């Protein structure tokens, strides 16, 4: 009887874990969006930005919510055989989950969707020398994400007029962790 009960409790716990979290597309809770993330995939209408030597070929480590509601992104990237660490502060704007930062030009950064638990999709619009560039970033709580979440990312970048040729896969490509 005790074993049966234990089994029931365990399977209930497991069912909870496997049940997907609700996907949020507005009114984001930035406390829940913060924490550890891994870069999974990037998409851009200018792939030079996200390619191996691109300015946005960055691997996310953590996102910190600062006391003044700004976001601090901790990135790392590989340059000339070395791991380089870079942090970027994104200042809060009056809009929910919308931020701005100066990094290689003016940037607007916002969240498109997340379940907080497994994945998050960021949208960035950069303006530099009057030229607009859009970038979408898929981050995962774990270094590899399941196909349904990759499909959600594809749906998101297609909405911004991009296709698979506009993307680069960063999952498990972070040379710094080896």
Binding site for ligand NAG (CB under 6 A): 29, 31-32, 66, 68, 70, 89, 91
| Residue whose CB is less far from ligand NAG, 16 or 80 | 16
Buried-state track 78-102, b at ≥16 Cβ within 10 A, e below 16: eeeeeeeeeebebebeeeebebebe
| Residue whose CB is less far from ligand NAG, 30 or 171 | 30
Q: How near is the Cβ of 173 to ligand NAG at its closest, in Å?
A: 30
Q: How near is the Cβ of 68 to ligand NAG at its closest, in Å?
A: 4
Q: How far apart are CA 126 and CA 13, in angstroms?
A: 44
| Residue whose CB is less far from ligand NAG, 47 or 89 | 89
| Residue whose CB is less far from ligand NAG, 27 or 147 | 27
Q: How near is the Cβ of 84 to ligand NAG at its closest, in Å?
A: 20
């Amino acid at each position: 009887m005790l074993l049966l009960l234990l089994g029931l409790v365990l399977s209930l716990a497991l069912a909870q874990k496997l049940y997907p979290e609700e996907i949020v597309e507005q009114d984001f809770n930035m406390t829940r969006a913060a924490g550890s993330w891994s870069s999974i995939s990037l998409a851009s209408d200018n792939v030079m930005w996200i390619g191996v030597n691109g300015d946005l070929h960055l691997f996310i480590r953590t996102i910190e919510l600062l006391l003044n509601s700004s976001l601090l992104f901790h990135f790392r990237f590989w340059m000339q055989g070395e791991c380089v660490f870079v942090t970027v502060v994104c200042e809060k704007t009056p809009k929910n989950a919308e931020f701005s930062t100066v990094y290689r030009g003016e940037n607007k950064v916002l969240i498109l969707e997340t379940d907080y638990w497994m994945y998050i999709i960021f949208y960035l619009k950069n303006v530099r020398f009057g030229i607009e560039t859009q970038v979408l970033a898929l981050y995962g709580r774990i270094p590899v994400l399941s196909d349904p979440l990759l499909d959600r990312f594809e749906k998101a970048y297609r909405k911004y007029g991009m296709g698979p040729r506009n993307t680069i896969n960063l999952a498990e490509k972070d040379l710094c962790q080896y």
